[in-house]
Structure 1
Amino acid sequence: MNTPRTVSVIIPNYNGGRTLELCLRSVLTQHHRPAEVIVVDDCSTDDSVAIAERAGARVVRTPRNSGCGVARNLGATHASGAVLFFVDSDVALEPDAISSALSVLGSEPTIGAVCGIEHPVPLLNNSLVARFRALQYHYWSASSEGNVSFLFPNICAIRADVFAELGPFSAALRQTEEVDYGYRLSRRYRLRLTSAVRGRHDHDARLVTLLRKLFQRGRLRVPLYAKARRFAKGFETANRAYASVAALLAVVSTVLPLAAGALAAAVPVLLFAVSVGLDAGMYRFVLREQGPAFLGYFTVMQFLVNVTIAASVAVGAAQWIASRRFRVLYDTPAVTS
C-alpha cells in the first residue's frame, strides 16, 4: 500500500510549560519530519504560548478552556496533512514514532488509526507516584497490544480522511472523549495499539492528584459503558474490573470480624489476594523491572487505585440510576448507534 507521507502534528496544551519544550523538541527531531506542528493552547496561564512560538510551532487558541477533545478538534480544522498525529504536551516522542506510525497505517487498508505505548519510565522521574503510574500504565497498555476499541489520544496517528468521516471528538465528554471516539472508530476501522510507536509521559507526581483523576474518569465512563453495553476492548479488561471490585470488597469486609468473630478476618485477606492475582502478570513485570522493595510499594499503590476505580464506578452507577441530568449530559448517539 501507499503510505500517507504528509503529517500534521497537533499538540493540545493547557499550562504545559513544564514539558512542552521537551515535547516540541521530540517532534521537531523526528526521523520523518512533520509538514506542520500545531500547538492548540486551551487558555493557558503559564508561558506555554511563548515556548511554542520560540520553537517555531503554529499556535492557535481556544476561545475558552474546553478540554483536550475540543483542542484536538480545533487543531484538526487547521491541519493540512494526510495524517493527523496527536501528542499531548506532557509527552516526548521517540525519534521514530511518526515513521513507525506511518508504516503501521500503510500496512493494512482497514487500519484507521494507530496509538502508541508509553515507556515504563516517566518523562520526569520526580516521585515514587510517577514511577508507579508509568509502570502500571505501560503494562496495562502493552498487554493490550493489537486491535483495540480504546483510543489512546496522547500518542495517536489517525488518517485525516478517517477523522473527517467520523467527525470530531465529542465536546460534551470532557474527560471521557477518548472512550467514545474509540468506540466510533473501531466500528468502521481497525484501531491498532502498538509498541512500535513510543513516547515518555510526565505522569502525575502526587497521589491525591492521580486518585482524583481516576475517580472522575471512572465515574464519567459509566454512562458510556451503560449505553454501549460493553467495556472497551483493551486496557480495561474484565480481570482488572474484577480486581477493582475485590479490592473495594476487601476494604468493606474489614468490619466483618466485629460481627462474625476473628475467623472473618481471613475474608479481607483473601479478597486482597484475589485482587492481586487477577492482574498477576503486572506484578511479575514490576518485580523484574524494579525488584522486590518497589514491588511492595507498587502493590499498596495499585490496591488504592483499584479501590478508587471501584468506588468511582459505584458512584457513577448511582448517578446513572438517580439523575436524569447525568444520563442526558453524557448522552452521545455515537455510543448508542
Structure 2
Amino acid sequence: MPEQPLVSVIIPNYNYDRTLSACIEAIQQQTYPSIEIIVADDCSTDDSVAVARRLGVTVLESAVNSGVSTARNLGAEHARGEVLFFVDSDVALEPDAVAKAVEVLQAEPGLGAICGMYQPEPMFPDSLVKRYRAIQQYVWFNEIDGPIPGLHSALFGIRVEVFREIGPFNSRLRWTEEQDYGFRLNARYEVRAASSIRGRHDHDGTLRVMITKVFQRTRLGAPNWVRLKALPGGAGTSYRALGSGFVLSAVLALLSAVVLGPWALAAAGVFVGIGMALDWRTYAYAYRHHGVLFGLQFTVLHLLVTLTSAVAAGIGILQGLLFPARMRRLYV
C-alpha cells in the first residue's frame, strides 16, 4: 500500500439533512490529506442532496429507496480509493479518525476491517433518549478494543480489494445487513474495533423509534446469533443477555402478583436487582458521570430497553425454531 493511499469516505444517506452537513464537515476537517467524499443518497425526500452539493462533495443518487445496503454498494462502485471508509450520515468523525484507520490497515495488511466506536455524547444532545442511547452504546462498544465477531458498520475502514473479495452488502436486508456482512468478513479475516477511532452519533431522539429499532434488530438477530453460538460483544454481552432474562422474569412475577401476592412482588424486586447487577457498568457510568437525577431517568429507560430486548430475543428464537427456512432467508 502506498504511503498515503486515497481514501474514499462513503456516506449512505436517507433523509438525514439535519445531520448530513455536520457529518460532511467533520470529514472535510480530517487530518488525513488524501480523501474523496461520496454521499450515496437513497432517494431522499428532504434537502439532503442540496446540502451535500452545497458542500462540494460527490453525490450519487439511487433510482428508488432501497435501503442502506444499496446506498453503501452504490458508493463503493464509484469509489476511486484504495481504502473505503464507510460512515453513516448521522455520525461526525473525530478529526484523526481516518488517519488512525489507515495507520492500522497499513501496519497490518492481513486485517479485514477496522471499526470505530461512538463517543459517550450524541452529536446533538437535544433529548433524554439521545443522551441515554449514547451512553448505553458507548459502554457496550468499549467492552472490546480488539477483535470482534461482527462489524460496526456505522464507521469502519476496509481495503477495496477486501471489499471486492467479500462482495457487496446484501441489498435485501434492512435490519440485519450489518450482521450478515460481519459474519461473511469474519469468515476470512479478523475484524477489529479500535477505541482510538471515534465519532459522535446523532442517536434516535424519540422513545418510539428507539424501541422499534431495538425490537426489530434483536428479534431478527437473535436466531442467527444462537445458530452461530456467538454474541456480538464481549463477556459483558453474555451477562446482559442473562440480565435481560431476569428483567423479563420480574415483569412476569409482577403480573402474577394478583395470584401469588407479596411473594411475587418480592421475587420481582430480586429479579430486577439481579438484572441490574449483571449490567452494573452501564448504570454506573450514567450515575458517575451525570448524577443521580439523570441516573434515575437512565435506569427507567434502560430497564425498558432491556425488557424489549428480552421479549424480542424470545420471539426471534421461537420464530427461528418454528420457521427456520423463513428466518434463514433474512441472512442470506
TM bucket normalised to smaller:
over 0.9
Deviation for aligned residue 1:325: 6.3
Deviation at 1:141, TM superposition (A): 0.4
Q: CA deviation at 1:288?
A: 1.9
Q: Which residue in the other structure is 2:302 paired with? A: 302
Q: Contact between 1:23 and 1:91, CA under 8 Å: does it hold in 2?
A: yes
- Report how far residue 178 of structure 1 moved: 0.8
Q: Which residue of 2 aligns with 1:335?
A: none
Which residue in the other structure is 1:131 paired with? Answer: 131
When residues 147 and 190 of structure 1 are mapped into structure 2, their CA distance, relative to the original with a 3 A threshold, is same
Q: Deviation digits for residues 25-76 of structure 1, max 9, x if unmatched?
A: 0011110134311101101000100111111111111222111112111111
Q: Is the 8 A contact 1:166 1:184 kept in 2?
A: yes
Residue number in structure 1 paired with 2:204? 204
Per the alignment, do residues 139 and 324 of structure 1 end up closer, same or farther by CA in structure 2, a change over 3 Å counting? Answer: closer
| Corresponding residue of 1:80 | 80
CA separation in 1, counterparts of 2:285 and 2:160? Answer: 37
Shift of 1:222: 3.0
Cα deviation per residue 1:203-256 (whole Å; 9 max; x = unaligned)? 111111100111011111134224423323449721111121111111111033
Counterpart AA for 1:229: K
C-alpha distance in 1, partners of 2:236/2:59?
Answer: 35
- Checking the alignment, whether the CA contact within 8 Å between 1:13 and 1:41 is kept in structure 2 is yes
Measured in 1, the distance between the counterparts of 2:250 and 2:70 equals 39
1:106 is paired with a residue whose SS is: helix
Q: Aligned AA for 1:76? A: A
1:119 is matched with 119
Answering whether residue 316 of structure 2 is matched by residue 316 of structure 1, we say yes
Whole-Å separation in 1 of the counterparts to 2:327 and 2:127: 38
Residue 259 of structure 1: how far off its partner (Å): 2.2
Post-superposition shift, 1:299? 1.1
How far does residue 165 in structure 1 lie from its aligned partner after superposition? 0.8
Report SS of the residue matched to 1:45. Answer: coil
Superposed CA deviations along residues 81-124 of structure 1, whole A, max 9, x for unmatched, are: 11100011111111111001111222223322111111111101
Separation in structure 2 between the aligned mates of residue 28 and residue 266 of structure 1, nearest angstrom: 56
How many equivalent residue pairs? 332
**Which ranges of structure 1 fall in alignment gaps of 5 or more residues?**
333-337
Contact kept, 8 Å, 2:143 with 2:233, in 1: the verdict is: no
Distance 1:290 1:190 in 2: 36
Partner residue in 1 for 2:105: 105
Pick which of 151-160 and 58-67 moved more. 58-67
Partner of 1:159: 159
Aligned to 2:53: 53
The match for 2:265 is: 265
Tell me which residue corresponds to 1:326. Answer: 326
1:219 is aligned to 219
Which one-letter code corresponds to 1:186 in the other structure? N
Question: What are structure 2's unaligned runs of at least 5 residues?
Answer: none
Shift of 1:282: 1.7
SS in 2 for 1:188: coil
